[in-house]
Amino acid sequence: MVQETKLSDELVRGIMGIFNQSPVRRGKRFWHYGKDFETVKKEMSLDLKDSLFITAYHENELIGFIKLYITNRYAMITLILDKTAHRDKAPMNGMIAKAVEICAERKIPYIVYTVWRRGEHGKFQESNGFERILVPEYFVPLTLKGAMALRLRLHKGLRGLIPERTMVWLLALRANWYSFRYRQRTA
């Protein structure tokens, strides 16, 4: 069952169950793993007057949720997760369909997914109808130090200097490291 749900202690406990499935998600440490009830409740309460939750349940068990931030011009998916053991039920597809339905009812023309991902997550976004739209970025140096940083292409940090192909390889290496590291702990 997929529905719009208000934040409650029961929902927070269900979200914690999703957060605590694994310390690793998408090949890196999952930063929500192991958080206590009060922390999760506080984080889920942020922007609550402008947000709503879409939940997916199977036999009274929360198997997925979306936190959707709503404005008059767009809705932004700020968090979307499911239980991996229930992926065969496609809760993500149902929740995204519900988000589209809610936006259509409220005459909100766009649903945005703010960060475009690489690999499987990027494929997930594409297969669910999201389109990558490149937004022009302009950098204007305000100081001599800023001008030097722009000339040396340091304005995006060290990550900005790494070619895409190398970045994909490094991300795969990190995923393998975490897989090995957490397999060792559980063995």
* Domains of the chain in sequence order: 2-135 (3.40.630.30), 137-187 (no CATH)
The mean pLDDT value for 67-85 works out to: 90
What would the mean pLDDT of 71-90 be, rounded to a whole number? 89
State the burial class of residue 73 (Cβ atoms within 10 Å of its Cβ: 0-12, 13-18, 19+): exposed
> What are the Cα distances from residue 15, in Å, to 41, 47, 88, 93, 153?
9, 17, 19, 18, 40
Is the entire prediction scored with pTM above 0.85? no
At residue 6 the predicted structure's pLDDT band, cuts being 50, 70 and 90, is very high
Average pLDDT over residues 33-44: 94
Tokens of 74: 């767009």
Determine which of 42-51, 98-107, 169-178 has the lowest per-residue pLDDT on average. Answer: 169-178
CB of 81 within 8 A of CB of 117? Answer: no
CA distance 24 to 3: 28
How much is the average pLDDT of 49-61? 94
How far is residue 180's CA from residue 122's CA, in Å, rounded to a whole number?
A: 24
Check the CA dihedral 159-166-170-131 and report its sign: positive
Task: Identify the CA nearest to 22 among candidates 148, 146, 151, 181.
Answer: 181
Pairwise pLDDT comparison (36 vs 168), residue with the higher score = 36
Stronger pLDDT, 165 or 52, i.e. the higher one: 52
How far is residue 66's CA from residue 170's CA, in Å, rounded to a whole number? 29
Reported as a single tens digit per residue, the pLDDT across 123-155 is: 667 666 677 777 788 889 999 999 998 888 888
Identify the pLDDT of residue 120: 64
pLDDT level of residue 175 (50, 70, 90 thresholds): confident
Output 162 or 122, whichever has higher pLDDT.
162
Min mean pLDDT across 19-23, 139-143, 176-180 is at 176-180
Per-residue pLDDT at 80 = 87
State residue 133's pLDDT score: 72
